[in-house]
C-alpha cells in the first residue's frame, strides 16, 4: 500500500530538497513493529534535519520526525499486537533512523512505549519529546528536593514546546512559575498556562560580572543554555537545582564553580533520547496525570504534512509557539 512521507534528499554539498513523496512499504527500514502513524509533531531537531549540513542525518534519502504516535499495524514482537496504541520519542529516530513524518513507520519494539489510557495520539504528539523532556526535568527537580513552598520556579524559553509544557505542569503541581520569553505577545498565552510572572528575556540574557547575585529561584527548567543558564545559576537559592534541557542560546557555559561551592546548587542534565523504558513509561504516566489537558489544547497549532518543511524553517528562528500537531490520516 503506498503512503505519503516527507523525504529529505541531498542535492549538493550544501543543499537538500525537502518534499512530500509517495513511498511503498518495501522502502521502509528494518524493524520488528510496523506502525500506522496517526499523529506527529515538530521539534527543533526536526527543523535541523530538514536543512543541509545539520550534523544529525547520516544517510540520504531521509524521513525526519523524531516523534510519532499511532496504532500497531503488525508486530513480530510479543509485547505489541495489532491495534495497540503506541508512542515513540528519541532513540535517534528521525535522525539516524527514518522517522515519523510518514504515514507508516517501521521501528524496533524496544523504542516504543504503550500510550497511557486517557491520552489520544493527538494529545501524545502535543506532548511529544518536548513534553517528555519537560516532565523528566520536573521529576529531576523533585528528586533533588524541590517543593512548591520553596518559592518561584523559573522556566526559560517558556513559549516554546518544552517551556510551555513545563509551565503548565509546574502550575498544576502548585508551583509559582516565572516564565521567561523574548516575545512580549506571548505573555497572555503563558499566563493562561499558569505562569504567575512574565520576565523579559533581556533581563537574563547577558552574563553578570558577579558570579553570585541575589538569590531568586527555588529551581529552574532551562531550555536556553549559554549565557542565560550561567546567569540563572548565579541566582539560584541555596541548594537549588536547574534542569538543563536545551541549548537554543548556545552550548558554552560562561560561569564559575563558585555557585556550586558556596551555595551548593545543582546542574541537572536532562536527556530524553536514550532514557530506558521504565523511566519513559513513568514519565508518560506522570504526563497523563499531571499535565492539564485543557491547557495542552491551548498549545496546539494544527498542521498538515506538507506544511512541515516551512514550519521546520520557522522553528529554527524561534517563530513557532506551543506545539505543532500533524494529523497524518486526513490528507497532506
Give pLDDT tens digits for 87-136: 999 999 999 999 999 999 999 999 999 999 999 999 999 999 999 999 99
pLDDT attached to residue 222:
98
pLDDT attached to residue 332:
66
- CA-wise closest residue to 292 among 194, 202, 156: 194
How far apart are alpha carbons 137 and 132 in whole angstroms? 9
Give pLDDT tens digits for 71-93: 999 999 999 999 999 999 999 99
Does 57 fall in a domain? yes
CB atoms within 10 A of CB 168: 28
CATH number at residue 196: 3.40.50.720
Cell 552550548 locates to 251
Q: Are residues 106 and 140 both part of a single domain?
A: no
Does 72 fall in a domain? yes
The mean predicted confidence, pLDDT, of the chain is 95
Cell 506571548 locates to 186
Q: Are residues 135 and 264 both part of a single domain?
A: yes
pLDDT attached to residue 22:
95
On the question of pLDDT at 225 being above 90, the answer is: yes
Residue 66 structural domain: 3-115+298-327
Q: Are residues 194 and 163 both part of a single domain?
A: yes
Q: How does residue 331 score in pLDDT terms, banded at 50, 70 and 90?
A: low
DSSP β-bridge partners for residue 41: 325
On the question of pLDDT at 161 being above 90, the answer is: no
Does 168 fall in a domain? yes
How far apart are alpha carbons 68 and 113 in whole angstroms? 11
pLDDT attached to residue 94:
96
Q: Are residues 134 and 104 both part of a single domain?
A: no
pTM exceeds 0.95: no
Q: Looking at 227, 251, 269, which one is the last position of a domain?
A: 269
CATH number at residue 32: 3.90.180.10
Per cent of the chain over pLDDT 70 is 99
Q: Are residues 135 and 265 both part of a single domain?
A: yes
- Helix, strand, or coil here: 108? coil
pLDDT attached to residue 330:
73
Question: How far is residue 172 from each of residues 236, 247, 286, 296, measured CA to CA in Å?
Answer: 22, 26, 12, 12
Q: Are residues 257 and 202 both part of a single domain?
A: yes
Whether the Cβ atoms of residue 283 and residue 113 lie closer than 8 Å to each other: no
Q: For residue 68, give the C-alpha cell.
A: 510519532
Q: Are residues 103 and 142 both part of a single domain?
A: no
Q: How does residue 47 score in pLDDT terms, banded at 50, 70 and 90?
A: very high
DSSP string computed for 254-297: ---SHHHHHS--EEEE---SS--HHHHHHHHHHHHHHS-HHHHH
Does 147 fall in a domain? yes
Measured in degrees and rounded to the nearest 5, phi and psi for residue 240 equal: -80, 165
Q: Are residues 150 and 196 both part of a single domain?
A: yes
Does 274 fall in a domain? no
Q: Are residues 107 and 179 both part of a single domain?
A: no
On the question of pLDDT at 329 being above 90, the answer is: no
How far apart are alpha carbons 81 and 83 in whole angstroms? 6
Does 121 fall in a domain? no
Does 17 fall in a domain? yes
Give pLDDT tens digits for 227-277: 999 999 999 999 999 999 998 889 999 999 999 999 999 999 999 999 999
Q: Are residues 192 and 157 both part of a single domain?
A: yes
> Stretch 53-68: mean pLDDT, rounded?
94
Q: Are residues 134 and 241 both part of a single domain?
A: yes
Q: Looking at 269, 285, 307, which one is the last position of a domain?
A: 269
Q: Are residues 196 and 68 both part of a single domain?
A: no
pLDDT attached to residue 13:
84
How far apart are alpha carbons 265 and 6 in whole angstroms? 44
Does 288 fall in a domain? no
Q: Looking at 224, 251, 269, which one is the last position of a domain?
A: 269
Give pLDDT tens digits for 175-215: 999 999 999 999 999 999 999 999 999 999 998 999 999 99
Whether the Cβ atoms of residue 236 and residue 265 lie closer than 8 Å to each other: yes
**Structural domains in the chain (count):** 2
Amino acid at each position: 500500500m503506498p503512503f505519503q512521507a516527507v523525504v529529505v534528499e541531498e542535492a549538493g554539498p550544501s543543499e537538500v530538497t525537502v518534499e512530500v513523496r509517495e513511498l511503498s512499504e518495501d522502502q521502509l527500514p528494518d524493524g520488528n513493529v510496523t506502525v500506522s502513524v496517526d499523529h506527529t509533531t515538530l521539534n527543533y531537531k526536526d527543523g535541523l534535519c530538514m536543512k543541509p549540513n545539520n550534523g544529525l542525518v547520516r544517510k540520504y534519502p531521509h524521513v525526519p520526525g523524531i516523534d510519532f504516535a499511532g496504532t500497531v499495524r503488525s508486530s513480530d514482537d510479543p509485547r505489541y499486537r495489532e491495534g495497540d496504541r503506541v508512542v515513540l520519542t528519541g532513540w535517534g529516530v528521525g535522525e539516524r533512523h527514518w522517522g515519523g513524518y510518514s504515514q507508516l513507520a517501521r521501528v524496533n519494539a524496544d523504542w516504543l512505549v504503550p500510550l497511557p489510557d486517557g491520552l489520544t495520539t493527538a494529545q501524545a504528539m502535543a506532548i511529544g519529546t518536548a513534553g517528555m523532556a519537560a516532565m523528566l526535568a520536573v521529576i529531576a527537580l523533585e528528586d533533588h528536593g524541590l517543593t512548591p513552598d520553596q518559592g518561584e520556579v523559573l522556566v526559560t524559553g517558556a513559549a516554546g514546546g518544552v517551556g510551555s509544557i513545563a509551565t503548565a505542569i509546574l502550575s498544576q503541581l502548585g508551583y509559582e512559575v516565572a516564565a521567561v520569553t523574548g516575545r512580549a505577545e506571548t505573555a497572555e498565552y503563558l499566563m493562561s498556562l499558569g505562569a504567575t510572572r512574565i520576565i523579559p528575556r533581556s533581563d537574563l540574557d547577558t552574563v553578570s560580572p558577579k558570579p553570585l547575585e541575589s538569590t531568586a529561584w527555588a529551581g529552574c527548567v532551562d531550555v536556553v543554555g549559554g549565557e542565560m543558564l550561567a546567569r540563572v545559576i548565579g541566582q539560584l537559592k541555596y541548594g537549588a537545582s536547574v534542569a538543563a534541557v536545551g541549548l537554543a542560546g548556545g552550548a558554552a557555559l560562561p560561569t564559575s564553580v563558585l555557585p556550586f561551592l558556596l551555595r551548593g546548587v545543582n546542574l541537572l542534565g536532562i536527556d530524553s533520547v536514550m532514557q530506558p523504558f521504565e523511566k519513559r513509561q513513568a514519565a508518560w504516566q506522570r504526563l497523563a496525570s499531571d499535565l492539564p489537558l485543557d491547557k495542552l489544547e491551548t498549545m496546539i497549532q494544527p498542521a498538515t504534512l506538507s506544511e512541515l518543511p516551512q514550519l521546520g524553517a520557522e522553528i529554527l528562528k524561534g517563530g513557532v509557539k506551543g506545539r505543532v500537531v500533524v494529523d497524518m490520516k486526513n490528507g497532506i
